[in-house]
Amino acid sequence: MKYIDLNGEKIDIIGFGTYKMTNRDAESAVLSALECGYRRIDTAIMYENEEGVGRAIKASGLKEEELFVTTKLWTDVNSREGVRRAVAGSLERLGLKRLDLLLIHWPTPFNDEVWAGMEALKAEGTVRHIGLSNFLPHHIEELKYSVKPEWDQTELHPYFQNRGTLGYLQKRGIVAEAWSPLLRGGALEDKTIKAVAEKYAVTPAAVVLSFLTKEGVAVIPKSTNPAHIAENFRAAELELGEEDVAAIRALDTGKRSFRDPDNHGFC
């Protein structure tokens, strides 16, 4: 496994995503992921599958301290007390005593108040790390904080490599993570990526994940297929040559495929 540095802590660069999974699917998929070696799991209140994730964690027999679990506050959380209530609910559904990482899911007019609530939970030890999701550099610059954000989860894949945000995050020492790194499968039919996959006798998904991790980006690929779950995890073993990295860098269109954080419409 490759690792990223989170304020001196080594964290697996490849995690497991659960977006759009039901509780039932999340339970089986997360258990498969844990059985093949994943130790970092990403969920969110909005996904409505924290209970399934929690059941998988319990069934795995792994100790809480062996895992790194992330969840996210939805846009209806707009106060410090709202943060506390939301996190209490997440912990109950997940069956955990603490969260490893708590993120604001999308920027809202209440960022400062929500962040203050997150800082308080971090100070108490209820949450170990705090960060953001879908925040652009100007959102981070505008955020009033005592504890600097440690993480930003953002749209990032071969067709939208988000170089401006990535460079900003890396310069500031904030972990950059790609959600939907495979573009919900949309990047896997690209002829350049398929050619690189044939060259190394691996899956196109492994090529994309290896490319992103080589760029220093954390990833959370999602699948409910046990074979694909295992294949994605092994992407950490693949080392692409510089010519392959250059070829994939050239695929960047600079255009988003999903919502603009400045106009996301969730609040």
Catalytically active residues are: 47
Please, are residues 53 and 30 in contact by the beta-carbon 8 Å criterion? yes
What 3-state DSSP class applies to 37?
Answer: coil
Q: What are phi and psi of 175, to 5 degrees?
A: -65, 130
What is the three-class DSSP state of 138? helix
* Amino acid, single-letter form, for residue 70: T
- Cα gap 81→87, rounded to integer Å: 10
Question: CB of 215 within 8 A of CB of 175?
Answer: no
Give the contacts of 128 (CB within 8 A, at least 6 positions apart): 98, 99, 100, 101, 122
Residue 197, C-beta contacts closer than 8 angstroms, at least 6 positions apart: 203, 204, 206, 207
